[in-house]
């Protein structure tokens, strides 16, 4: 998985902050406010190291002192917090019918979001990179941000990626991207460090935990044009050996089933993903509003029909949900999570139909667990991948330069 | 997962050594020989800390100096190695038709292995614990080991476990174990620290990497009476939130399929596991040699028929393999591993039939990976779970007491 030129990765988990400086910034950011003493305890760094690193971060304008903590008997401790306006990152999610941009501040808050028309099927990667460069500039201008404060870009798209390059093999919409050096082109064209990530993995990284209980092991089930998932342990996403973990869309749910673009047969994505839902809806003669509609927009049209009483649309979506439930069951069985979040644009529009069906399957199939995993919808599902990409860039060593 | 009274576990990965002392012993053991300088580099501990800890380990008779490394220009470095005869651990694997014992020395070598008759279906946990206590004593005597050097016991059985207790819900053979405090009873009866683990997870921990290339992300697909899997990253097994990850036997491979003991339907284990293979063989009138045969012994009889030309037996096993291939595909898609090892008693007897069928599915379904995962048979498959349990105990903090 790409993270600029950072190659210091332990296998499996990336991109956890690797420098002590990045670690301190990451811990303050994820907690909100922390004292130096708490930082020492959390990071395992020595007190003098923490003091020196914090001093430099304050001098560099990335961290501020922010009042005092509650007295625990001794001198009240000074709390540190991130200076939200110190730096910004851009997140970009490419899909067939939209390019989603988010601008995230240094504290991880989303300060701007923007959706533009996607490049459609069979997109030309050179043209898309050019478009991203232009539109990123527009996003920054419109948000009124000093562009010199933008430290990098996180870019996510469908399909499995290969390290330090781009798309390794392609879902139908990405055919011309195979072998295209997207990472290098983005960095050249934008003049910024870039991070490449699979959309489902980024969504897992970016999901904000809205549950009240303590969750350290969670997964995201992501649906856009395709289906994927990501596992997150204590904030770090699981990457596997090659950055292609969590490909739940390509587990086989039907032996001898339909052939998938990936080359296998009976894949969950081929049996019940959005493209299949759309094909079934068209075959049933449902009116999707426009001949050109495809991708998430067409799926959204079917979802709207289902939610407003069209029984054929409802049946098609519920059938998809019955199969997606097998994917959810595979995730919870293989990963043993406390929480499963349904995210991505397809769940953002149709999640209320999918959710109870997935919950029921999980409940009936969970065994030997002291707590059945909770299944919830992501409130930010439509922008989850873009936000996740930005947050992953924010955690990198690039994000703590002076 | 149990590890004596060790509760200092980070979620997801256990039981990586947590004390510096245990970490040093573990690194020397897994490398074979290491110098103090290499230890400093690998562990991140300071040179004075390493020197002091190594001094104590040598004084305690756990580590020895063992010659000098190749000169790299300066003074040749003294190499450290584990004193294999310093301590021993016992591994016990309980299954329906056998109790497998292994005795492992301090360097991780298997010095004795012993298989005894299993307790059969509907075993009485009190009686089994008593049997284990007695037979463990016999194992140690027969191996001629000083029993005061035995530092603990690793115990594995089928079924999902709950922390600090025992079996949470039960496959048919373990019905009376639900709620039985097996960990406490074992420790009381043996007077030793005990570690409880699921059999598939232990097998993943114990698999010896026999491939020549560097493997940091691997999984074990384990088949005994049931089917399970384990993921291993850099030597540490993935535990999930509750110690019940990798339950590939209970992913759904057939929507609306047969009901499983776990309460779900269409589970891989119900569709194609050993119990189903045995039922089909009986229904086909195959001669399994004895009416009483069940569990792995009956499965082994069918495998032998298949391997010696019985076409009906071969067809039944190949059908099972076609479904197991879906499980293998789920593992590689969700975990993104470099290596998948087929292990456990059922693969030990029938692996040559399963292997090419699983390899073919993995090859045809791997996508976007620079290297297709390798699929191999475990040479020690029959004892893998017991060995893994012993090795997990060996890595614990209990294993470095003076």
- pLDDT higher than 80, residue A176: yes
Best mean pLDDT range from A95-99, B43-47, B217-221: B217-221
- pLDDT band at residue A122 under the 50/70/90 scheme: confident
- pLDDT higher than 90, residue B243: no
**Tens-digit pLDDT profile for residues A288-344:** 887 556 788 899 999 999 999 999 999 999 999 999 999 999 999 999 999 999 999
The string of DSSP letters for A221-260 reads EEESSSEEEEEEETTEEEEETTS----GGGSBSBTT--B-
Q: What is the mean pLDDT of residues B337-346?
A: 95
Q: Report the percentage of chain A scoring pLDDT > 70.
A: 89
* Contact by Cβ (8 Å): A1, A163: yes
**Tens-digit pLDDT profile for residues B72-86:** 667 778 999 999 999
Class of domain B88-204+385-401: alpha beta
**Tens-digit pLDDT profile for residues A187-244:** 999 999 999 998 999 999 988 765 555 688 999 999 999 999 999 988 789 999 888 8
Name the residue in chain B with its Cα closest to that of A11: B216
User: Considering CB atoms only, which of B161, B167, B334 is closest to A248?
Assistant: B334
Which pLDDT value is given to residue B16?
Answer: 65
- Using a CB-CB cut-off of 8 Å, the residues of chain B touching A246 are 333-334, 336
pTM for the predicted model, two decimal places: 0.91
- pLDDT higher than 90, residue B398: no
- pLDDT higher than 60, residue A134: yes
Q: Where along chain A do its domains lie?
A: 7-82, 88-204+385-401, 215-378
Which pLDDT value is given to residue B236?
Answer: 86
- pLDDT band at residue B290 under the 50/70/90 scheme: confident
Average pLDDT, chain A: 88
**Tens-digit pLDDT profile for residues A367-387:** 655 568 999 999 889 999 999
- pLDDT band at residue A2 under the 50/70/90 scheme: very low
**Cβ contacts of B102 within 8 Å, gap of 6 or more:** B90, B91, B110, B112, B113, B114, B383, B386, B387, B390
Q: Which residues pair with A68 in a beta bridge?
A: A78
Average pLDDT, chain B: 88
Task: Give the other-Cβ count within 10 Å of B246's Cβ.
Answer: 28
- The yes-or-no answer to whether B88-204+385-401 and B215-378 have a common fold is yes
Query: Could you tell me the fold of the domain covering A215-378?
Result: Nucleotidyltransferase; domain 5 (3.30.420)
Distance of CA A255 to the CA centre of its chain: 30
User: Considering CB atoms only, which of B10, B168, B252 is closest to A326?
Assistant: B252
Which pLDDT value is given to residue B213?
Answer: 57
- Using a CB-CB cut-off of 8 Å, the residues of chain A touching B330 are 251-252, 330, 334
CB pairs under 8 A between A and B: 177
Cβ distance A370 to B217 less than 8 Å, yes or no, reads no
- pLDDT band at residue A394 under the 50/70/90 scheme: very high
Which pLDDT value is given to residue B166?
Answer: 59
Residue A250's closest CA among A158, A123, A347, A363? A158
B168 close to A (CB below 8 A): yes
**Cβ contacts of A30 within 8 Å, gap of 6 or more:** A235
Helix and strand counts by DSSP (H, E) for chain A: 12, 14
Cβ distance B11 to A234 less than 8 Å, yes or no, reads yes
Q: What is the mean pLDDT of residues A260-281?
A: 95
Domain A7-82 = CATH 1.10.10.10: yes
Which pLDDT value is given to residue B252?
Answer: 97
To test the contact with chain B by mutation, choose from A256, A268, A271, A368 the residue with the greatest count of B C-beta atoms within 10 A, namely A368
A42 close to B (CB below 8 A): no
- pLDDT higher than 70, residue B277: yes
Q: Give me the helices (H) in A119-198, please.
A: 125-142, 182-190
- Higher-confidence residue: B370 or A96? A96
Lowest mean pLDDT segment, chosen from A79-93, B191-205, B304-318:
B191-205
- Using a CB-CB cut-off of 8 Å, the residues of chain A touching B368 are 159-162, 167-169, 242, 244
* Contact by Cβ (8 Å): B360, B396: no
Nearest-neighbour CA in chain B from A10: distance (Å):
9
To test the contact with chain B by mutation, choose from A215, A336, A339 the residue with the greatest count of B C-beta atoms within 10 A, namely A336
- pLDDT higher than 90, residue B137: yes
**Cβ contacts of A312 within 8 Å, gap of 6 or more:** A281, A284, A286
Residue A96's alpha-carbon distances to A138, A173, A197, A226, B93, in angstroms, are: 21, 6, 17, 11, 52
Q: Which residues of B81-93 are buried (b: 16+ CB within 10 A; e: fewer)?
A: bbbbebbbbbbbb
Lowest mean pLDDT segment, chosen from B29-43, B144-158, B199-213, B332-346:
B199-213
Which pLDDT value is given to residue B331?
Answer: 97
Lowest mean pLDDT segment, chosen from A11-20, B109-118, B213-222:
A11-20
Cβ distance A367 to B169 less than 8 Å, yes or no, reads yes
- Higher-confidence residue: A292 or B268? B268
Which pLDDT value is given to residue B68?
Answer: 77
- Higher-confidence residue: B384 or B179? B384
């Amino acid at each position: 998985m790409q993270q600029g030129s950072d190659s210091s990765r332990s296998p499996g988990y990336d991109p956890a902050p690797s420098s002590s400086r990045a670690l301190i910034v990451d811990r303050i950011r994820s907690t909100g406010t922390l004292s130096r003493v708490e930082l020492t305890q959390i990071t395992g760094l020595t007190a003098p190291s923490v003091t020196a690193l914090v001093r430099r971060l304050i001098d560099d304008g990335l961290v501020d002192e922010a009042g005092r903590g509650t007295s625990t008997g001794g001198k009240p401790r000074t709390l540190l917090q991130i200076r939200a306006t110190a730096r910004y990152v851009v997140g970009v999610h490419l899909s067939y019918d939209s390019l989603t941009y988010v601008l995230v501040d240094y504290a991880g808050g989303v300060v701007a979001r923007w959706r533009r028309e996607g490049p459609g099927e069979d997109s030309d990667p050179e043209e898309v990179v050019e478009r991203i460069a232009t539109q990123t500039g527009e996003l920054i201008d419109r948000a009124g941000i000093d562009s010199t404060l933008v430290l990098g870009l996180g870019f996510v798209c469908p399909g499995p990626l290969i390290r330090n390059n781009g798309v390794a093999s392609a879902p139908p919409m990405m055919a011309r991207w195979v072998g295209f050096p997207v990472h290098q082109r983005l960095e050249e064209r934008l003049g910024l460090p870039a991070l490449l990530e699979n959309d489902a993995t980024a969504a897992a990284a970016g999901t904000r935990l809205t549950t009240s209980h303590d969750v350290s092991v969670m997964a995201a089930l992501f649906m856009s044009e395709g289906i994927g998932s990501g596992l997150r342990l204590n904030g770090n996403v699981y990457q596997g050996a090659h950055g292609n973990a969590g490909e739940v869309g390509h587990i086989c749910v039907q032996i001898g089933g339909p052939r998938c673009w990936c080359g296998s047969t009976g894949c969950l994505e081929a049996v019940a993903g959005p493209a299949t839902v759309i094909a079934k809806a068209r075959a049933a003669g449902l009116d999707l509003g426009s001949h050109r509609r495809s991708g998430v927009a067409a799926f959204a049209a079917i979802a709207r029909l289902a939610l407003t009483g069209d029984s054929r649309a409802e049946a098609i979506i519920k059938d998809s949900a019955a199969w997606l439930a097998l994917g959810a069951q595979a995730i919870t069985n293989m990963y043993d999570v406390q929480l499963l979040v349904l995210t991505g644009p397809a769940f953002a529009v149709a999640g209320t139909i999918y959710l109870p069906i997935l919950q029921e399957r999980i409940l009936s199939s969970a065994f030997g667990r002291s707590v059945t995993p909770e299944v919830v919808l992501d409130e930010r599902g439509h922008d989850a991948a873009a936000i996740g990409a930005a947050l992953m860039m924010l955690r990198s060593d690039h994000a703590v330069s002076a």
